[in-house]
Amino acid sequence: MRFSNLVIETSKTAPSDAIIISHVLLVRAGFIKRVANGIYTLGMPALKMASKIENIIRQEMDRLDGQEVKFPVVMPKELWEMSGRYYSIGREMARFKDRADHDMVLGMTHEEAAVHFAMNTISSYQKLPFMIYQIQTKFRDEPRSRGGLIRVREFTMKDAYSFHMTQEDLEKYYYKQLEAYNNIFRRIGMNNFIYVQSDSGMMGGKIAHEFMAVTPDGEDELVICSHCDYKANEEVAECQTDTFDNTNDTPCEEVFTGEAKTIEEVCQRLNIEATNTIKAVAYANKETGEPIMVFIRGDLEVNESKLCKVVRAEIIPLESTENPAISFGNIGPLANLPVKTIIYDRSIENRAGMVVGANKPEYHIINFKVGRDINIEHFHDVAKVKQGQRCVKCGHELTIQNGIEIGNIFQLGTKYTQSMGMTVLNENGESINPIMGCYGIGVGRAIASIIQNSHDANGMILPISVAPWTIHICPVRIDNEEVRKLSFDIYDQLQKKGIDTLIDDRDMSPGVKFADADLLGMPIRLVVSPKLIANNEIEIKIRKTGEVVIVKIDELYLKLDSIIQNLMEEYK
Amino acid sequence: MRFSNLVIETSKTAPSDAIIISHVLLVRAGFIKRVANGIYTLGMPALKMASKIENIIRQEMDRLDGQEVKFPVVMPKELWEMSGRYYSIGREMARFKDRADHDMVLGMTHEEAAVHFAMNTISSYQKLPFMIYQIQTKFRDEPRSRGGLIRVREFTMKDAYSFHMTQEDLEKYYYKQLEAYNNIFRRIGMNNFIYVQSDSGMMGGKIAHEFMAVTPDGEDELVICSHCDYKANEEVAECQTDTFDNTNDTPCEEVFTGEAKTIEEVCQRLNIEATNTIKAVAYANKETGEPIMVFIRGDLEVNESKLCKVVRAEIIPLESTENPAISFGNIGPLANLPVKTIIYDRSIENRAGMVVGANKPEYHIINFKVGRDINIEHFHDVAKVKQGQRCVKCGHELTIQNGIEIGNIFQLGTKYTQSMGMTVLNENGESINPIMGCYGIGVGRAIASIIQNSHDANGMILPISVAPWTIHICPVRIDNEEVRKLSFDIYDQLQKKGIDTLIDDRDMSPGVKFADADLLGMPIRLVVSPKLIANNEIEIKIRKTGEVVIVKIDELYLKLDSIIQNLMEEYK
């Protein structure tokens, strides 16, 4: 490709809404152009990168006997009514009426389409297991699109769906997918990613993992054990109960605490640690409005994802003053709180010598003992994991890092096959609902995450496995006939060898060309200049290491072959 | 690919709504599955075929310096307001409100997106000409989807947009695209296609061509000269004026014709030929409702596409009784017809001795002479071409055939760059609006049209350049260990050689396997059976010619190489 022909304009600055580095660089390099909130046109370099990523994904999916298919973007309401998601999903699903006034939706995921395709087609266990996948455009009306390609509304996604006769078979296959995902992310050059246990959210099912690019710009918090292999999204990370001295058996006593209301204020007033307090956090059932009260150790926060699962409902935070039942303030776990749903976090199990609210203004109770002063049947794990807490698996210290979700895999069970009525006959001639798994990767977000993980102050550093071009030729003084001729000779030669090459044939200063080469971040830069030609030489620079090699012209291709092979090693 | 794993179910019959052969075969072979009106899921074989077609398209587009990009499917209203098409396009464009109540559309074509992408990016003539293209999902809410993949609502399309400094440059490039289209359709195995002049419709611009698969199932009528290279869509085909004896100078005379109203009735009553009559055909301006009257030779029909262009408005047919101005019936071209817009077709120019309506019930006028009895300033060509008429270019006979549009190319001019305000500086530093061309191919329709052109009573006959698999292995008696082993050895060997192969590993009768092989239509079928093995032989059958060759096992690959090379020859 000739730079002079390329429909991109590089720039030294990014628009003010671009804060995250991959967004800044993608815009500055002209890879993407914003069309609307969370909607972009991908220019040629971004699309070439997407295609290379898609091909690696395809290879790994086909290795697992995947059959590539294409489901529609636009689907009729009926399909989503069968699974129940037409109603359970909110405004993130775009809907419209077609010209016959029929309700249609834009696919944001394709479980329904996959089951529709397989049902009535596959009728016997002999065809199972099988996996179908597509790489297709999706639209999800995100309330807050952000960060360029990090969170968009329209995106290209690989989504795969597997169908199995038994849970055992699904699990075996699921871990093969997990392995394939590891391969994919390594091969596309994601140099800092992990997978964590995750929430299955609106997909249904129980076991799920997310693949995460680790980056400070990530919105997800990841709980990672410093010692063992425990890794989980904060949304589902389990809390280890800390050990405390619970021998204090002094009877309860009401103490005046006046204006002190927050845990911090109460601790200061009574000169105690927050770990010796129990606080109340109020929520409401989003649908019914009924209050939900959580009692948790004063130094901990409630993990709302975990709480949702415990109460099996969507929840919203509630100011205690908003509900007359609990408007008295200083709420404590004393009996007779007029709230139907009360959740006790595991952090207060067996605790003694605690400070709790007295269920009336200006007073707290000290020396409260769980078990003695209140009888609690069930404790639940609804606390957020804190940096430095201990791992539930091995007891070592946990760290918290930020990440961007780049892929996810779910064990769906029979949620879709059952609701949509897909059955196959097993070996005994009985109808069963196949058990499903699903496996997604967002291609655009992969592009952004690769750049998050791989850039420097001058621009992107693109992995050779997915870089739009492998080689970027910078002719210095293109107006010099010798430079021009040699540059284009090399360009033609490389093209013939099947090496993707970009040639900067613009009549620009070396400074501008080198800056653009660094910004675009192709793995290998070649410089051709009058001075080098005089010595019969070419300069090779490796973007990743900064290494510069000067070679004789007739040694160029041999040297390039070895550099390319070397760079590819990592991504095989 | 193993047949036993393939998520398709072949069938002997097609659903009752499948009438057109490609639809019947695509459904019977399990290539596609209907999700809603005009919306299908493509199974693996159809998608593989689509990918091969797309790759051939890519090669030809890249040869013309095309840059592949990806525009969004979902676009904001504003983009389409700039070009004016938000309002000028009707319900065929799907629209919805996003969660922020913003009006969005689903792209059915991407001129606006292409200009948006290039404007403010490209600012100088030095970057022109350039061409950007995408292969992407589109949605067009067709009122009458039909024929499986022939006319759908959701489809994959390659759409390309070129930008030029001068009309001359556009034209030069346009004919390169025309050449590329010829290459594409030849290479994907469309064995009966032509290109014709066409209407530019809602795209704007003047010069346009359509590529048409010639098939009796096509809805478009194509006017083709039997002698020269004149070919045009009936919508724009020009009419040659026939020669008549116009010497009759007898004065007009009113004659009683009673109930005779239609041309046929009048001709019968007066014992004359329809070529000696002038009829009136009434239309109305769709927007204003104002009547439009056309006078045309009695044996011809009005071509509404051509009429629209002449009156520069959309029109609807009008019963003359519906409008009081012309409700008297027997309308003739006599002076003082109270209609503002009257169009005279070229077929009545200079005609003498004609029978025309008398503008009152029960009477006609004979011996009417155009020029003498009415003064007409302009004649227009608004007649439909009839089979057997003479070519406007060479005077030879015209034939009419049916076709399916498989591609189109347009010279757009500055319609979009002007309305959207895209300018670049020319060599003199002046701002000009670039001149655009656009070039489309529907991938799914190409699949259907290939099958329309290439099938027999047993199924599809897929061209080797786009067939999902090149070789289809049919092991007879898969339960025989020798058969199984040899079949899979060959399968593995072919896969290693990079030859797409399907193996029918189902435990089914040879009859079922052979019927499915014929139905799916892969270019080469291999048969492995105990009997053949006993003789150390394999059977090769070529789907296209029906030719059967028996080869010794150790000569198999050599023979296959030569057959494949031979079959590929046509599509290079």
- On the question of pLDDT at B329 being above 80, the answer is no
- Judged by CB atoms closer than 8 Å, whether chains meet at A36 and B104 is answered as yes
Chain A touched by B173 (CB under 8 Å): no
How many CB contacts within 8 angstroms connect chain A with chain B? 180
* Residues in A touching B68 (Cβ below 8 Å): 44, 47-48
Q: Are B130 and B23 in contact (CB under 8 A)?
A: no
Indicate the helix (H) or strand (E) that contains B528. Answer: strand B524-528
- On the question of pLDDT at B321 being above 80, the answer is no
Secondary structure of residue A241 in the 3-state scheme: coil
Least confident of A214-218, A401-405, B197-201: B197-201
* Residues in B touching A106 (Cβ below 8 Å): 74, 96, 106
Chain B touched by A444 (CB under 8 Å): no
- The amino acid occupying position B529 is S
- The amino acid occupying position A399 is T
CA distances from A102 to A21, A98, A126, B570 (A): 43, 5, 37, 46
> pLDDT tens, B249-282?
999 999 999 888 889 999 999 999 999 999 999 9
Nearest residue of A to residue B77, measured between CA atoms: A36
Task: Convert A14-34 to b/e letters by CB count within 10 Å (16 or more is b).
Answer: beeebebbbbbbbbbbbbbbb
Distance CA B240, CA B230 (A): 12
**What pLDDT band is residue A203 in, cutting at 50, 70 and 90?**
low
Assign 3-state DSSP to chain A and report helix, strand, coil percentages, each to 5.
Answer: 30, 30, 40
Among A45, A205, A41, smallest CA distance to A137 is for: A41
> pLDDT tens, B467-481?
999 999 999 999 999
Structure confidence at residue B202 (pLDDT): 53
Chain B touched by A136 (CB under 8 Å): yes
The share of chain A scoring above pLDDT 70, in percent, equals 97
- Give Rg (Cα) of chain B: 29
A149: left (phi over 0), alpha (psi -120 to 50) or beta: alpha
> pLDDT tens, B541-550?
999 999 999 9
Chain A touched by B76 (CB under 8 Å): yes
* Residues in A touching B37 (Cβ below 8 Å): 100
Mean pLDDT of A562-566: 97
Mean pLDDT, all residues of chain A: 93
Structure tokens at B348: 């009545």
Pairing of strands A208-214, A253-256: unpaired
Chain B touched by A159 (CB under 8 Å): no
Indicate the helix (H) or strand (E) that contains A568. Answer: helix A556-568
CA distance B121 to chain A (A): 6
- Domain architecture of chain A: domains with CATH: 46-221+400-452 (3.30.930.10), 253-368 (3.90.960.10), 469-571 (3.40.50.800)
Secondary structure of residue A519 in the 3-state scheme: helix
Place of tokens 């089951």: A115
Indicate the helix (H) or strand (E) that contains B263. Answer: helix B263-270
- Judged by CB atoms closer than 8 Å, whether chains meet at B70 and A42 is answered as yes
Structure confidence at residue A144 (pLDDT): 87
Classify residue B313 by its DSSP letter. S
Classify residue B188 by its DSSP letter. T
Adjacent-strand bridge partners of B293: B282, B342
Structure confidence at residue B16 (pLDDT): 87
Among A234, A217, A232, A183, smallest CA distance to A453 is for: A217
Work out the number of other CB atoms within 10 angstroms of the CB of residue B353.
17
Distance CA A267, CA B63 (A): 75
Distance CA A280, CA A297 (A): 9
The share of chain A scoring above pLDDT 90, in percent, equals 76
> pLDDT tens, A312-355?
888 888 876 677 667 667 888 886 778 889 999 999 999 999 99
Work out the number of other CB atoms within 10 angstroms of the CB of residue B189.
24
Q: Are B522 and B469 in contact (CB under 8 A)?
A: yes
Classify residue A454 by its DSSP letter. S
Q: HSE (CB half, 13 Å, CA atoms) of B371?
A: 12
Distance CA A521, CA A12 (A): 15
The share of chain B scoring above pLDDT 90, in percent, equals 76
Structure confidence at residue B420 (pLDDT): 96
Contact map slice: B 30-69 vs A, CB within 8 A: 30, 33, 35-37, 39-44, 46-48, 50, 65, 67-69
Structure tokens at A287: 């649908």
Structure confidence at residue A320 (pLDDT): 64
> pLDDT tens, B501-533?
999 999 999 999 999 999 999 999 999 999 999
Distance CA A537, CA A552 (A): 4
Among B453, B407, B401, smallest CA distance to B226 is for: B401
- Judged by CB atoms closer than 8 Å, whether chains meet at B137 and A141 is answered as no
Mean pLDDT of A93-104: 96
Indicate the helix (H) or strand (E) that contains B474. Answer: strand B471-475
Secondary structure of residue B341 in the 3-state scheme: strand
Secondary structure of A283-343 in HEC code, one letter for each residue: EEECCCCCEEEEEEECCCCECHHHHHHHHCCCEEECCHHHCHHHCCCCCCCCCCCCCCEEE
Adjacent-strand bridge partners of B281: B294
Structure confidence at residue A207 (pLDDT): 87
Mean pLDDT of B129-140: 97
Contact map slice: B 174-193 vs A, CB within 8 A: none
Place of tokens 């290795």: A63
Distance CA B471, CA B560 (A): 9
Which spans in B11-74 are helix H? 21-28, 44-63
> pLDDT tens, A44-55?
999 999 999 999
Task: Convert B94-108 to b/e letters by CB count within 10 Å (16 or more is b).
Answer: bbbebeeeeebbbbb
Q: Given B4, B7, B72, which is nearest A126 (Cβ)?
A: B4
**What pLDDT band is residue A205 in, cutting at 50, 70 and 90?**
low
B48 Cβ contact partners less than 8 Å away, ≥ 6 residues apart: A68, B468, B469, B500
**What pLDDT band is residue B289 in, cutting at 50, 70 and 90?**
confident
> pLDDT tens, B3-53?
999 998 899 988 888 999 999 999 999 999 999 999 999 999 999 999 999
Chain A touched by B94 (CB under 8 Å): yes
Q: Best mutation site among B48, B70, B139, B420 for testing chain A: the one with the most A CBs within 10 Å? A: B70
Distance CA A266, CA A357 (A): 10
Mean pLDDT, all residues of chain B: 93
> pLDDT tens, A482-539?
999 999 999 999 999 999 999 999 999 999 999 999 999 999 999 999 999 999 999 9
- On the question of pLDDT at B425 being above 90, the answer is yes
> pLDDT tens, A148-187?
999 999 999 999 999 999 999 999 999 999 999 999 999 9
Chain B touched by A416 (CB under 8 Å): no
- The amino acid occupying position A169 is D
Among A273, A269, A251, A257, smallest CA distance to A330 is for: A257
Chain B touched by A144 (CB under 8 Å): no
Secondary structure of residue B502 in the 3-state scheme: strand
- On the question of pLDDT at B203 being above 80, the answer is no
- Judged by CB atoms closer than 8 Å, whether chains meet at A75 and B7 is answered as no
CA distances from B370 to A164, A367, B244 (A): 80, 115, 13
- The angle, 0 to 180 degrees and rounded to 10, between the axes of the packed helices A167-187 and A44-63 is 140
Distance CA A437, CA A182 (A): 17
- Judged by CB atoms closer than 8 Å, whether chains meet at A69 and B43 is answered as yes
Indicate the helix (H) or strand (E) that contains A538. Answer: strand A537-542
Structure confidence at residue B204 (pLDDT): 56
Distance CA A484, CA A550 (A): 19
Among B441, B446, B471, smallest CA distance to B42 is for: B446
Q: Are B427 and B125 in contact (CB under 8 A)?
A: yes
Structure confidence at residue B40 (pLDDT): 97
Among B488, B538, B540, smallest CA distance to B517 is for: B540
